[in-house]
Amino acid sequence: MIQMNNVVKKYPNGVVAANGISVDIKQGEFVYVVGPSGAGKSTFIKLMYREEKPTSGEVIIAGTNLSTLKNRQVPYLRRQLGVVFQDFKLLPRLNVYENVAFALEVIEEHPKTIRKQVMDVLDLVGLKHKVRMFPNELSGGEQQRVSIARSIVNMPKVVIADEPTGNLDPETSWEIMNIFEEINARGTTVVMATHNREIVNAIRKRVIAIEGGLIVRDVDGGDYGYEG
């Protein structure tokens, strides 16, 4: 599902955030990406949804080689992915329903389909009763749930999350993790960059540790491996 072959990413300022990364993530896997700040986790994530282009090497997502992907084809790649961020990235002027529906509107989905799918995912994340509320009326955990709902509403094969619990208290983080597990249980690949030791150690999954732009450890059911 996700394949990287010897990927190098050098930023214009000279920082090398990926220094020959190779990895293979299968359909339906749940993968944590861990490592110290500035180790290249975010770049690793950004390479997957083509916010960053590799300097050299190959990134292949769901059969699409991102190295040769033309700029105008990028939107179609992203429609097959769901992306969740630490800061939620919700549109403040849209209510919960509209924020989620937005992901389907931009791909010109039929209004009837939009209504059904949006209500389905809001049910999944447990926010069906708050559809008319605006992001600033919600707690952090609720906002993150809206953001997750938006990322999965178009039924992507892969959900990519960049520190989704980074801004949340521990209890809320567990709720969010439950949702990710449920998404994963439905067959969706989940790749999650995280700093949350408790979660990684409790919900055991494949752990990829990145340091200095290299994968230093890749263990199924591994632990977080860094001292909190």
Partner 1 sequence: MKGRTIKRHFRESFKTLSRNGWMTFASISAVTVTLLLVGVFAIIMMNLNKVADDIENDVEIKVLIDIIEDPNQAKEAEDKLISDIEKLPEVKEVKYSSKENELNLLIEDFGDDLSLFEQSNPLRNVLYVKASDPQQTAKVAKKIDALDNTYEVVYGEGKVEKLFSFLNTSRNVGLILIVGLLFTAIFLISNTIRITIIARRDEIEIMKLVGATNAFVRIPFVLEGMWLGVLGSIIPIAVVSIVYYNVYNVLQPRLHGELVQLLDLSPLLYQVNALIIVLGIFIGVWGSFMSVRKFLKI
Binding interface with partner 1 (CB under 8 A) = 49, 51, 72, 75-79, 83, 89-91, 93, 102-103, 105-108, 111, 150, 154
Tokens 């209504």 label which residue?
Answer: 115
Quick one: which H or E segment has residue 49? none
Query: Do the beta carbons of residue 152 and residue 183 sit within 8 Å?
Result: yes
Closer to partner 1 at the Cβ: 73 or 178? Answer: 73
Whether 227 contacts 34, CB under 8 Å:
no
CB of 41: closest distance to partner 1 in angstroms? Answer: 18
The radius of gyration computed from the CA coordinates of the chain, to the nearest angstrom, equals: 17
Nearer to partner 1, 63 or 72 (CB): 72
Gap between the Cα atoms of 44 and 190, Å rounded: 14
Q: How far is the CB of 50 from partner 1 (least distance, A)?
A: 10
For residue 136, give Cα distances in angstroms to 16, 127, 142, 145, 152: 37, 15, 10, 14, 22
**From the CB of residue 45, how many other CB atoms can be counted at a distance below 10 Å?**
21
Q: What are the phi and psi torsion angles at 96 (to 5°)?
A: -55, -50
Q: Hey, how many other C-beta atoms are within 10 angstroms of the C-beta on 195?
A: 18
Question: Least separation, in Å, of the C-beta of 8 and partner 1?
Answer: 21
Minimum Å distance from CB 43 to partner 1? 15
What does the alpha-carbon distance between residue 123 and residue 71 come to, in Å, rounded to a whole number? 35
CB of 46 closer than 8 Å to CB of 7 = no
Closest distance of CB 81 from partner 1, Å: 8
Q: Which is nearer to partner 1, 87 or 182 (CB)?
A: 87
CB of 78 to partner 1, least distance (A): 4
Cβ nearer to partner 1, comparing 41 with 150: 150
